[in-house]
Amino acid sequence: MIWVTWRQFRAQALTVLVLLAAAAIAFLVTGLRMHHSYAAELAACAPLNACDGSTPAARALGAQLSQLQRSYEPMFQLLQLLVIAVPALIGIFWGAPLIGRELETGTHQLAWNQTVTRTRWLAVKLTVVGVAAIATAAILSWLLTWWAGPLDHLNGDRWAAMTFASRDIVPLGYAAFAFALGTTLGLLLRRTLPAMAITLAVFIAVQVLVPTLIRPHLLPSTTTTFAINQAGTSQSHGFSGSQTEFRFDLPTPQGAWLTSQPPVKNSSGQVVRIEDYPDCFPEDGGGRGDDLDLGQIGACLAKDNLHETVTYQPASHYWPLQWMETGIFLVLAGALAGSCLWWIRRREN
Residue pair 121/3 in contact (Cβ under 8 Å)? The answer is no
For residue 239, the model assigns a pLDDT of 32
For residue 304, the model assigns a pLDDT of 66
Residue pair 68/35 in contact (Cβ under 8 Å)? The answer is no
pLDDT at 121 over 90: no
Radius of gyration of the chain (CA): 26
219-248 per-residue burial string, b: 16 or more CB within 10 A, e: under 16? eebeeeebebeeebeebeeeeeeeebbbbb
Q: What is the mean pLDDT of the chain?
A: 78
pTM of the model: 0.80
pLDDT at 308 over 90: no
Which bin fits 53, alpha (ψ -120 to 50), beta or left (φ > 0)? Answer: left
Pairwise pLDDT comparison (160 vs 328), residue with the higher score: 328
pLDDT at 262 over 50: yes
| Maximum average pLDDT range among 240-249, 303-312, 322-331 | 322-331
Average pLDDT of the segment spanning 177-190: 93
Residue pair 211/165 in contact (Cβ under 8 Å)? The answer is yes
d(CA 144, CA 172): 13
Digit-coded pLDDT (tens) for 74-98: 888 899 999 999 999 999 999 999 8
d(CA 187, CA 2): 20
Name 106's Cβ contacts closer than 8 Å, sequence gap at least 6.
Answer: none
% of the chain with per-residue pLDDT over 70:
68
Digit-coded pLDDT (tens) for 13-68: 788 889 899 999 999 999 898 888 888 766 555 444 455 555 555 555 556 667 77
Q: Which segments within 255-325 are labelled E, that is strand?
A: 257-260, 307-313
- pLDDT-derived band of residue 288, with 50, 70 and 90 as boundaries? very low
Which bin fits 156, alpha (ψ -120 to 50), beta or left (φ > 0)? Answer: left
